[in-house]
Structure 1
Amino acid sequence: MIEFLFLIKLIVAIAFVIGLSVLAENVSPKVAGILSGYPSGSAITLFFFGLEVNPEFAAESAVYNMIGLSATLSFVYIYYIASRHFKKYNILLSSLCAIIGYFIIVSLLQRIEINKYIAILIPFAFSFLYIYLFKSIKNINIQTKVKLNYRILFVRAFFAALIILVITSVPKFVGSTWAGLFSAFPTTLFPLMLIIHFTYSKEHVHTVIKNVPIGMFSLIIYSLTISIVYPLFGIYIGTLISFGVATIYLVVYKKIISIIDKSKRTY
């Protein structure tokens, strides 16, 4: 059973990270940034919390996951700021700053007495804040794409697999509060940022970062739905319902943006 779960986690990690990186290269970093906020890493983590512990534990963790998303948004903001200032070892130092910042913010959030209203309000406020702070970043597409090979695929898979395996092991050692906060760690976004930054440039990873807060609303909605439906319907049906609700948000967002763009062209 342990080996089977290990294999599932590894395959899912590889699929998400490679999928987002290919999407960034062949569609745009903007789209990849939005979809990186779609339930992926947190969804995997919460699902395995429910599978390996119980649905009630996962539902409680999902509430704190929403709060933890504020730390995720701060993670990408700190990475953005650091990557603009460091000249040498840009990726390494930016990553270290972002990781340290994430855990400082998580430790502070852990002290807050949480209910669902606060859990919704805080990440929504952070999302709008970072949308504002990122408004000056330009959306830049990737013009010259690298050719994929086995070495590149392995590197892209390694970070996601490692991070997901570590984070999904948390509930064995800590309570549901810390487990939920840890579950918000950007398990697929962080490897994606490393891939784009290392393969292309900081300007391209900034495009990804700019659009993360927009997609983050879908993850907030997903976690809220999980906290409600897991105890009622279990992890399998509950996961399907939650993904459906999160997808509806993205579809509605895309429709609204299309209407706005059409209106601008008309005038």
Structure 2
Amino acid sequence: MTELLFLIKLAVAIVFVIGLSLLAENVSPKVAGILSGYPTGSAITLFFFGLEVSPDYAAKSAVYNMIGLTAALSFVYIYYIASKYFVKLNILLSSLSAILGYFIIVWLLHLIEINIFLAISIPIAFALLYIYLFREIKNITIETKAKLNFKILFVRAFFAALIILLITSVPKFVGPNWAGLFSAFPTTLFPLMLIIHYTYSKEHVHTVIKNVPIGMFSLIIYSLTVSIVYPLFGIYLGTLISFGTATLYLLVYSKTKSLINNRKRVVELKKRTH
């Protein structure tokens, strides 16, 4: 059973990280940034919490996962700030700064007496804050794509596999509160950021970062749904329901954004004709 779980975690990590990196290269870093907020790493972690411990344990962890998203959002913000100002060893120092910031914020968060209202309102407030702080970042696309080979794909997969395996081992050593906070670690986003930054430039990874808070709302919705449905329906049906609610948010966001952009184009066209 242990070996099977290891292989499942490894396979899922490979699919998500490679998929997001290819999406960034062939569609745009903007889309990859939004979808990186989709419940991938946290969904895997919470699912295995439920499978290896219990659905109730995973449900309680999901509440702390929501509050832990504050640290995940701060992770990308700290990485962004550090990458702007560090010239030498840019990727290494940006990564270390973001990881350190994440664990400091997680430590501060564990001191708070959490309830469902705080678990929802705090990450939403931070997501809105970072959307505002990232407003000046330009969305750019990748013009010249890197040539892929087995070595590159292996390196891309390795980071996600290692991080996910470490984080999903947390509940064996700590309680659900800490486990939930750690489950919010950007397990697929962080490797994606490293791949884009190393392969292309900090401007490209900044495009990913700019759009993370937008997608993070789907993860907040996912974790909230898990906290409700896992004890009621179990981890399998509960996971499907939770993915459904998270996907619905992204569809509504996409449709709303499209309508707003169309309206802007109509207004601009009217101004030109008058």
> Smaller-chain TM-score range?
over 0.9
**Which residue pairs with 1:169 in the alignment?**
169
* Matched residue, 1:178: 178
**Match of residue 144 from structure 2:** 144
Shift of 1:147: 1.2
What is residue 197 of structure 1 aligned with on the other side? Answer: 197
Cα deviation, 1:26-80, whole Å, max 9, x if unaligned, reads 0000000000000000000000000000000000000000000000000000000
Q: Which AA in structure 2 matches 1:30?
A: K
Distance 2:247 2:151 in 1: 33
Q: Which amino acid aligns with 1:132?
A: Y
Aligned residues: 267
The residue correspondences of 1:101-140 to structure 2 (distance < 5 A) are: 101-140=101-140
| Structure 1 letter corresponding to 2:53 | V
What CA distance in whole angstroms lies between the structure 1 residues aligned with 2:254 and 2:233?
29
Give the aligned partner of residue 270 of structure 2: none
SS in 1 for 2:179: helix
Question: What residue identity is the alignment partner of 1:202?
Answer: K
CA offset at residue 125 of structure 1?
0.2
CA shift, 1:164, in A, is: 0.1
Q: Which residue of 2 aligns with 1:261?
A: 261
User: Aligned partners of 1:126 and 1:143: how far apart in 2?
Assistant: 32
Question: Aligned partners of 2:2 and 2:119: how far apart in 1?
Answer: 33
Is 1:225–2:225 an aligned residue pair? yes
In structure 2, what is the Cα distance between the partners aligned to 1:231 and 1:147? 46
User: What's 1:42 paired with?
Assistant: 42
Distance 1:212 1:8 in 2: 26
Aligned residue type for 1:8 = I
Aligned equivalents of 2:241 and 2:4: distance in 1? 25
Give the partner amino acid of 1:260.
I
- In structure 1, the residue matched to 2:158 is 158
List 4+ stretches of structure 1 deviating above 2 A.
none
Normalising by the residue count of structure 1, what TM-score does the alignment of the two structures yield? 1.00
Three-state SS of the structure 2 residue aligned to 1:111 is: coil
Residue equivalent to 1:235 = 235
Structure label with greater radius of gyration: 2
TM-score by length of 2: 0.97
- 1:24 maps to a residue whose letter is A
Give the corresponding residue for 2:86. Answer: 86
SS of 1:100's equivalent?
helix
The equivalent of 1:72 in structure 2 is 72
| % identical aligned pairs | 80
Q: 1: distance between equivalents of 2:215 and 2:6?
A: 28
- The aligned amino acid for 2:212 is V
Counterpart Cα distance in 2 of 1:60 and 1:177: 7
Partner of 1:213: 213
Q: Provide the secondary structure at the position in 1 that maps to 2:196.
A: helix
CA distance in 2, matches of 1:255, 1:150: 37
> C-alpha separation between the residues in 2 aligned to 1:265 and 1:252?
20
Letter in 2 for 1:119: A
